[in-house]
Amino acid sequence: MDSDDEYTPEESGVQKTQGTPLQTFSLENLPTEFVSFLSKNEIDPAIYTVTDLPRYVRLNPDPHLTITPQDLEMELGTKVEPVPGLEAFCRLSGHIKLRNTKAYIEGRIFGMDLSSGIAVYALDVQPGEHVLDICCAPGAKLCMIAGLLTNSGHVRSDRSRASNALQMDITGTVTGVDISPHRLSTCRSLLKRHRLQQCARLFQADGTTFGVMRPSAIDTIRARIMAGNKSNNTSSAGNGSAGKRSLDRESYQNEGSSSDESMDQDGGPGLEVRQQFHSNYTQKGESSIKRQRATLERLSGFSGHTDREEEATIFNGTETEGSHEKLVPFFAPKTLRNDPQHRSEAYKYDKVIVDAECTHDGSIAHILKYESWGWDNFHKNFMSQNRLDSLMDLQRGLLMNGFRLTKAGGIIVYSTCSLSRAQNEDVIAWFLTKMHGRAVLEPLPKHALGIPTANCKRPCRSIIADALGLQQSGPGNANGIVGWHGTPEQETEMIQFQDHIMDKCLRYDPLASNTSGFFLARIRKIS
Ligand SMILES: C[S@@+](CC[C@H](N)C(=O)[O-])C[C@H]1O[C@@H](n2cnc3c(N)ncnc32)[C@H](O)[C@@H]1O
């Protein structure tokens, strides 16, 4: 829950604001149930003493809505420093309430933590791509994705004609899904305030079963514009302008990874971070896939595990064309409103972000707000036993469905603002095991922007063994839960698999990184 400024007490399930958050905080104020949750999940309560984390804003890159750091500094009356390497992000010195500022009301800035920005960069959004954001509300990441699709670096900043604006706005789309209608309303308002609504549509649905593929109606419009631009370009050869740019854009789409270079000649947004996160599907990637698959095979000892069957039992949705009910969007611009909602493989998304519902324990600012909002509300919202019991299943279901809706070769980013192992490394370990080589982790830079990350936690071996269908044995712990013990060879494979997850995923925590707590995994869908 990074965009704290987007959350009202009501959106957090609290009826009334009873004051402002404390600037100083004593650990003794934390409720007993929460302390026991932290202890059970090996989360250091000291993270809640870091109450002076820097605040970040992202400046709207739209030239009509932009503001310079200098002007923002004047308006806010506090130091505003651009974050080197992460264009449009600025660090604020003071604890300003952004909601009431002119820059915020006019859609010139977004409140967003750095770690969330890094999650979006891990998606490596390219012009023309179709992105799905599962658990999208209130919408900080969705707006950033929409901005990357419509304001790609220099392209929009010098556009001069209306037709050019249209052409830029439809080169890619983002589809947001959330279960909560009032959070989706906030998301819709954010999109409109920041004038990003042309490429975005929203659905109120359960992200574990949502089945609407990327919009297809847009293909016809795009083809028409591309054809028009080609002839424009021939007739106006030499004079630069709109036609030339549209061809450039077309070649970005055709050339795949080389698009980065062409985009960034003039300095695209977040160049440095995008380069750090960009990882090509190269020979090196392929050998890593083979290694991951072989490890799982050796570990499972030919347990007869069939991932396709498993997947079929998890999903009850169908991916075939045929008669189906169309889902009415919660919000969609005219161009995307009457989409036929094709269901076939060809309409899967290029990139999917699953910013999963979680216990939010890493979001310091949010947790500390309950000091004034009332811990009872916190307990009701996040700590009730029912919720905790079903949360990991929900996260697994969200990730599985995100995977299902991604095209082969596409990227899925899984993130949470929890620091618990169960909601992060364990979900990833379970998922990779179930996918048995059809999904692989891609490396994420441990020191992007020079921000140190915390060590990842060792995923639970019983969960991995269970997912692989391996027999659990041994004396069992105090609760009677029986652990897994393998042959010496299997033990080695198990450790390698756990190390692999710890090595490839990222954790930010307030003590190590001086950011909100955040977990991130980048997954490539192989087939
Ligand atoms: C961590 S917040 C997402 C923050 C958001 N990605 C952003 O950047 O602003 C988690 C969201 O998951 C939503 N959610 C919870 N259960 C869901 C489900 N089954 N399907 C879809 N969304 C769900 C919640 O309503 C909440 O808005």
pLDDT digit string (tens) for 65-123? 889 999 999 999 999 999 887 878 999 987 778 888 999 999 999 989 888 999 999 99
Q: Is 141 in the pocket of ligand 1 (CB under 6 A)?
A: yes
101 contacts: CB under 8 Å, gap ≥ 6: 75, 76, 109
Nearest residue (CA) to ligand 1, atom 15? 357
Give 99 Cα–ligand 1 centroid separation in angstroms. Answer: 21
How many percent of the chain have pLDDT more than 90? 43
Q: Is 183 in the pocket of ligand 1 (CB under 6 A)?
A: yes
Ligand 1 nearest-atom number relative to CA 139: 9
The predicted pLDDT at position 498 comes to: 95
Give 134 Cα–ligand 1 centroid separation in angstroms. Answer: 7
pLDDT band at 478 (very low <50, low <70, confident <90, very high): low
Per DSSP, 199 falls in state G
Torsion 42-48-54-55 (CA) sign: positive
CA angle 211, 220, 258 (to 5 degrees): 85
Of 123, 177, 179, 204, the residue with max ligand 1 atoms within 8 A of its CB, to mutate for a pocket test, comes to 179
Q: Poorest-confidence range of 128-142, 158-172, 196-210, 385-399?
A: 158-172
Summary count for the chain: helices (H), strands (E): 21, 12
Q: Which of 417, 456, 460, 505 is catalytic?
A: 417
Strand partners, 413: 353, 522
Give 390 Cα–ligand 1 centroid separation in angstroms. Answer: 15
- Summarised one tens digit per residue, pLDDT across range 126-150 is 888 999 999 999 999 999 999 988 8
pTM above 0.90, yes or no: no
Q: At what angle do helices 283-300 and 425-435 cross, to 10 degrees?
A: 90
- The span from the CA of 126 to the CA of 349, in Å, is 12
- The span from the CA of 245 to the CA of 269, in Å, is 17
Alpha helices in 152-180 (DSSP H): 162-169
How many percent of the chain have pLDDT more than 70? 72
Q: Is 180 in the pocket of ligand 1 (CB under 6 A)?
A: yes
Ligand 1 nearest-atom number relative to CA 183: 27
- The span from the CA of 71 to the CA of 75, in Å, is 6
Exposed (0-12), middle (13-18) or buried (19+): which is 88, by Cβ within 10 Å? buried
Judged against a pLDDT cut of 90, whether residue 427 lies above it is answered with: yes
Judged against a pLDDT cut of 50, whether residue 457 lies above it is answered with: yes
Alpha helices in 202-343 (DSSP H): 217-235, 241-255, 259-264, 271-277, 283-300, 307-314, 334-337
Mean pLDDT confidence for 171-186: 95
Give 177 Cα–ligand 1 centroid separation in angstroms. Answer: 8
Within 13 Å, how many C-alpha atoms sit on residue 326's CB side? 11
Q: Is 5 in the pocket of ligand 1 (CB under 6 A)?
A: no
Give 110 Cα–ligand 1 centroid separation in angstroms. Answer: 18
Known catalytic residue at 187: no
Q: Is 138 in the pocket of ligand 1 (CB under 6 A)?
A: yes
Query: Is the omega angle on the peptide bond into residue 138 within 30 degrees of 0, that is, cis?
Result: yes
- CB count within 10 Å of CB 267 equals 10
Q: Higher-confidence residue: 456 or 444?
A: 456
- The span from the CA of 200 to the CA of 131, in Å, is 9
ipTM for the assembly: 1.00
Judged against a pLDDT cut of 80, whether residue 428 lies above it is answered with: yes
Q: Is 101 in the pocket of ligand 1 (CB under 6 A)?
A: no
Q: Is 397 in the pocket of ligand 1 (CB under 6 A)?
A: no
Strand partners, 110: 58
The predicted pLDDT at position 281 comes to: 47
Q: Which residues line the annotated binding site?
A: 355
